[in-house]
A and B are shown apart, each in its own frame.
Chain A
Amino acid sequence: MAARAFDEIWGTGGTAKPRPEFASLARWMASTPMAELERRQQSAEATFRQLGITFAVYGDDDAAERIIPFDIVPRIFTAFEWTRLSAGLVQRVEAINAFLTDIYGSRRILADGVIPEDLILGNSQFRPEVVGAPPPHNIWSHICGIDLVRTGPDEFWVLEDNARTPSGVSYMLENREAMIRLCPELFRQYRVQPVDSYGDTLLETLRSVAPAGASDPVCVILTPGRFNSAYYEHSFLADSLGIELVEAADLEVDDDIVWMRTIVGRVRVDVIYRRIDDDFIDPLVFRPDSMLGVPGLMAAYRTGHVTIVNAPGTGIADDKAVYSYMPEIVRYYAGGEPLLPIVQTWRCREPKALQYVLEHLPELVVKLVDGSGGYGMLVGPTATNAEIETFRAALIAKPHCYIAQPTLALSTVPTLTEKGVAPRHVDFRPFALTGTKGVKIVPGGLTRVALRQGSLVVNSSQGGGTKDSFVLADDGEAAG
């Protein structure tokens, strides 16, 4: 990247002068010795390890359980920045839910030729099984994590939508706990909006979408089990919400009603927050070899006896080719310009786009339309010639499987490195909750940081770390 990336604390001018809102953070960094910062960071990580906030990296024998590295320097959003972000997120989430209602219902957007029909109807994530059986209140993605990147003070871009099973909120909450404990002085300098309402808001959201007639809805979280890489988060959420964490073996469907097996007999379940992909949730309807699902669950769902969060069929909103049409989708349902732009995206299924991409591979990021976790991705600028050629062949073989985007100069935030505090690239995932009372965005989110110098890969499964994300209560600092 030729131009210097925008640093969220220092701006673009190097470390001479911090952006005005962050003067006190800059002073805090200057006045706290490196050794002390490191000590606090290690203390946080030791706590995380003791608490077992680990995740498993598949296929990695040695690191059976790892903690995600935590960096103690927070990134900060001013109240003004947050207000604008929130509005954009609300607009986007509402559009996503309207879109899903439409494509599984009357399909106006396809009839109007806004999106190619085959992109939706031929999509592996499109679930014909839910056509004509919309979820309560037409809410599909109750919990949506929208990945954002930033290239300038006012330049935010949506990188990706995670409407199906977004994860990472437990890190948002645990990181905040760690920061309060280790850097209380920062919370005197800044009025930081709290994030601990997430649990209450989520529970309220779940209960609000329970089937009609459920006077005191029983909500559960359905997990694949403790060998799943995100299991810690599943148990953390169940604990925060005070609801049961169930596995498939604990549930049975009888008479199209879902029951869970308890020590006093069976108890009816009204809402299931499932952290399992559609493919695995019901062996009678989807993958028959799935041991993680509940036979008959979809029948109970279609009958309306149980609400599933996020609704089956939502996965198509995560598709990156669909993402490339999001500006059109937002315009279509919101009736106005999208407040949050997407990153420029070339759809390789289109011949002209494919040609452009093949000619510019070393400059581009190429992704699978149904990929996740940063796997199966090409980062042109840092790839070897061999890797680029391999990708070229894959693209030519199956162009419809890929999209490409330019490499962005992602914003950086000061981060503790072996050589002292230095800028590292970050992204941001806020969480939007949608219930019958509308869309609520928790003032905070997961900031992921690429720990290697110059690296743009922030995924935890590939060595990224996290930071706390402050959203200030009002502009300016509390005390000087």
Chain B
Amino acid sequence: MLSRTASSLYWLGRYVERAEFTARLVEATVRLDALSSRPAGEAAWASALSVIDADVAFAKTGEKLTPRNVARFLTLETQHRGSVVRCLDAARGNAKAVRTALTREAWSAINRSWLLFHGRASPGDTQATLNLVDQAQAETRGFEGAIGRMMRNPSSWFIRLGATVERADNTARLLDVKYHILLPEGEAVGGAVDRDQWTTILQTVSAVNAYRWLYREGLKPWFVTELLILRRELPRSLAASAEEVVLHLNALGKQTGFQGEADRLARLRHARLGDTKIAEVVDGGLHEYLEDFIEENAAVDQAIARQFRFV
């Protein structure tokens, strides 16, 4: 496989994952707004922007921080790289560059998602926004399904590798941001606002039911944190992502006959997460832990680029 192809497939995986995550983020924030016992207020939408590092960019637009404006910005703003439309643009650009490595179904799914968003002005009201992100997720799931049916070969592994690296990054950022703004001044720990915020996090990583299956004691921040970092049962957890990265690299290694630095880093991380207890994480500072994780994830990403000669 050409190195350039591998690079495009990897980034295709990352961008589709990023698009889906951002869509889920919007959806979860809309629900928080609509369903919480008290209006979520600016904080919820501000935090959504923080998760994908878009707070500064949004401030620059000069728009008011309203649900409608932020929802539009996160889904349709062509001037911001992190918006869903831009992520799908980038995904499609990469897909186009490596069409020969994709099945028709996979390409069609990307193309359809892109067509959904391309040229749209505004998601409209809340219902329309929910419809749009619903559709987006349906298409990205379709993409995932199409990838699953591709031949088990480097093409599909590079896509999944990219998606998994991105997923780890997204979950870490989500937890990091939400943890800090979770409790505005004057709100009580364990109170209604607190509970809604944690539920939003779970919603974004589709873990609401998973949580209830694994933890019988009711919603507690400590357990949500543990679920998202250490529980491999949850596909979006950091531990599950770390494990998956190792699996995909192993599959590639078997195919190519080579392993390298990326394999080594990935395995170390996976082993360490297997040994970590949540108490250690919280004692050492959740924020510091997550920052370190994000940096280490970036190192894995760079090692992958070097190992497979992306450039």
Contacts and interface: CB of A to CB of B under 8 A. Distances in A.
A191 B88 CA distance: 44
A261 interface: yes
B309 A52 contact: no
Nearest to A244: B2
Contact of A264 (B100, B104, B112, B257): B257
B174 interface: no
Contact of A250 (B4, B108, B154): B4
Interface residues of A, number: 21
Contact of B308 (A52, A235, A263): A263
Contacts of A281: none
Contacts of A239: 99-100
Contacts of A245: 100
Interface of B is mostly: helix
Contacts of A263: 1-3, 6, 154, 252, 256, 308-309
Contacts of A39: none
B96 interface: yes
A51 B107 contact: yes
Contacts of A146: none
Interface string B175-188: 00000000000000
Given A263-B154, A264-B257, A52 B96 contact: yes
A78 B258 CA distance: 56
Contact of A235 (B1, B100, B111, B258): B100
A304 to B, nearest CB: 25
A18 B208 CA distance: 68
B97 interface: yes
Nearest to A261: B3
A50 B3 CA distance: 27
A202 to B, nearest CB: 15
A246 interface: yes
B2 A260 contact: yes
A180 interface: no
Interface in B96-141: 96-97, 99-100, 104, 107-108, 111-112
> Which residue, B97, B100, B308, has most C-beta atoms of chain A within 10 A?
B100
Contact of A238 (B100, B104, B252, B308): B100
Given A263-B308, A264-B258, A226 B96 contact: yes
A261 B4 contact: yes
Contacts of A262: 1-3, 309
Interface in A236-265: 238-239, 244-247, 249-250, 260-265
Interface in B247-265: 252, 256-258
A254 to B, nearest CB: 16
Contacts of B4: 247, 249-250, 261
Interface residues of B, number: 22
Contacts of A247: 4
B2 A51 contact: no
A216 B265 CA distance: 37
Given A50-B108, A51-B104, A226 B97 contact: yes
Contacts of B100: 235, 238-239, 244-245
Nearest to B102: A239
A248 to B, nearest CB: 11
A52 B256 contact: no
Interface in A256-307: 260-265
Contacts of A52: 96, 99, 107, 111
A225 B4 CA distance: 12
A106 to B, nearest CB: 41
B309 A51 contact: no
A262 B99 CA distance: 17
B169 to A, nearest CB: 23
A238 B97 CA distance: 13
A235 B102 CA distance: 11
Nearest to B114: A52
Contacts of A238: 100
Contacts of A51: 104, 107-108, 111
B199 to A, nearest CB: 38
A265 B258 CA distance: 10
Contact of B111 (A50, A244, A261): A50
Interface in B1-38: 1-6
Given A50-B108, A51-B107, A51-B108, A261 B2 contact: yes
A226 B154 CA distance: 22
A276 B1 CA distance: 22
Given A235-B99, A246-B2, A249-B4, A264 B108 contact: no
B277 to A, nearest CB: 38
> Which residue, A226, A247, A262, A263, has most C-beta atoms of chain B within 10 A?
A263
A51 B96 CA distance: 11
B117 to A, nearest CB: 15
Nearest to A241: B100
A66 to B, nearest CB: 15
Interface in B179-210: none
A145 B247 CA distance: 48
A238 B2 CA distance: 13
Interface in A176-215: none
Contacts of A261: 2-4, 309
Contacts of A260: 2
B156 to A, nearest CB: 14
A37 B85 CA distance: 36
A169 B97 CA distance: 20
A50 B112 contact: yes
Interface in A300-326: none
> Which residue, A247, A249, A264, A265, has most C-beta atoms of chain B within 10 A?
A264
A224 B97 CA distance: 11
Nearest to A52: B111
Nearest to A235: B99
B60 to A, nearest CB: 27
A242 to B, nearest CB: 9
A249 B256 CA distance: 22
Contacts of B257: 264
B256 A264 contact: yes
Contacts of A244: 2, 5, 100
Given A239-B100, A262-B309, 9 more contacts: A225-B97, A235-B99, A250-B2, A250-B4, A261-B2, A262-B1, A263-B1, A263-B154, A264-B256
Query: Top 4 closest A-B pairs, CB basis?
Result: A235-B99, A263-B308, A239-B100, A238-B100
Interface of A: 50-52, 225-226, 231, 235, 238-239, 244-247, 249-250, 260-265
20 contacts: A50-B108, A52-B99, A225-B97, A226-B96, A239-B100, A244-B2, A244-B100, A245-B100, A247-B4, A260-B2, A261-B2, A261-B4, A261-B309, A262-B1, A262-B309, A263-B1, A263-B2, A263-B309, A264-B258, A265-B309
